[in-house]
Amino acid sequence: MLWISLAVIWGSSFLLMKLGLEALHPMQIATLRIAVAAVTLVLLAAAMRVQLPRDARTWGLLAVCSLFLTALPFTAFVVAETRISSSLAGLGNAATPIATVLFALLLLPSDRLTPRKLAAVLLGLVGVVLIAQPWTSEAGPDLVGFLIAVGGAASYGVGWTLNRRLLAHREVPGLAQPTALMVTGLPMVLLALLLWSSIEGWSPLGSHDPGALPLALLATAALGVVGTGLAYVLQFEVVRAVGPTVAATVTYLIPVVAVGLGVLVLGERLGVWEVVGAAVVIGAGILVGQRPKARVAAV
């Protein structure tokens, strides 16, 4: 049940980001998203008397994980949606299980390449190519935008793998870990917001469409409270239950939700190759999530 709820919440995030872009800059959305999530989780942790880490080294390791689990992907996906539809951004997110497998093989000595993992990775890469359609510049999606979304998915893969490696022997229980991730991620996006706005010459507190600002702020607030704060609590519960690689397979339901909302609410459409590629990537995610059957000893 947690797994399905998480897929619905994450999938809805792509619609909320697109609504936020009606009046806000991508960096404003990423910053507000993490800020609202951080406040939500800090208040929840205080109410539940959850003990946050006390030593500086643990906070440093959490900050490294936060870079790849909050600051980079949250920025990447919203920037991608300035160039592509929310549906396509959701499809890009489906590459997360493939990225998780790749980086687990690189960063975790205990993970080994098996024929199933190799087949899943290759199948996933084929699906990404089919969605991107690099052989055409007319019928396919904006290639840069889609690759940015895939980069966001890859960042999740790095982040969950680092989380597993760096914090394996450190006790950061329950709600403390997502709370610490948001708290450490906030200065990163805030600094990026200030630098970006100063370089391009716009106000970090301004809006390019004041008339659409109320809906954009409401969507971003929902993105922070539900699509990030609550979602990360659920994500960590799923990760603790089944591990990061299997938990990452929730992303093969996320594009279904993202596409459904994109079509129903925003009137978005997908081409034939994008649908075929999505099916291939989702199939690769399912293959990654399958556990090998135990061999029955001969009697």
70 or 286: which carries more pLDDT confidence?
A: 70
User: What mean pLDDT value characterizes the chain?
Assistant: 87
Choose among 221, 169, 136, 150: nearest CA to 58: 169
End-to-end CA distance of the chain: 38
Q: What angle do CA 148, 159, 114 make, to 5 degrees?
A: 95
What pLDDT, in 10s, does the model give residues 187-232? 999 999 999 999 999 999 999 999 999 999 999 999 999 999 888 7
The pLDDT confidence band at residue 243, using thresholds 50, 70 and 90, is: low
Tell me how far the alpha carbon of residue 146 is from its chain's centroid. Answer: 14
DSSP-derived secondary structure letter, 212: G
User: Does the pLDDT of residue 294 top 70, yes or no?
Assistant: no
DSSP H helices in 67-212: 72-80, 86-93, 96-107, 115-132, 143-166, 176-200
pLDDT at 248: 57
- Token pair 């497998």: residue: 101
pLDDT mean over 28-48: 95
Return the closest-CA partner of residue 166 out of 52, 58, 244.
58
> What confidence tens digit (pLDDT) does each residue in 117-157 have?
888 888 888 988 888 888 876 777 899 999 999 999 999 99
pLDDT at 165 over 70: yes
Q: Sorting pLDDT into bands at 50, 70 and 90, what band is 247?
A: low
> Once rounded to an integer, what is the mean pLDDT over residues 240-250?
60
CA-nearest of 231, 234, 183 to 16 is 231
Report residue 33 CA to chain centroid gap: 13
Q: Among residues of the chain, what percentage have pLDDT more than 90?
A: 54
pLDDT in tens, 72-102: 999 999 999 999 999 999 989 888 888 888 8
Q: Indicate the range of 3-7, 45-49, 222-226 predicted with least confidence.
A: 3-7
| pLDDT score for 135 | 80
The whole-model pTM stands at 0.89
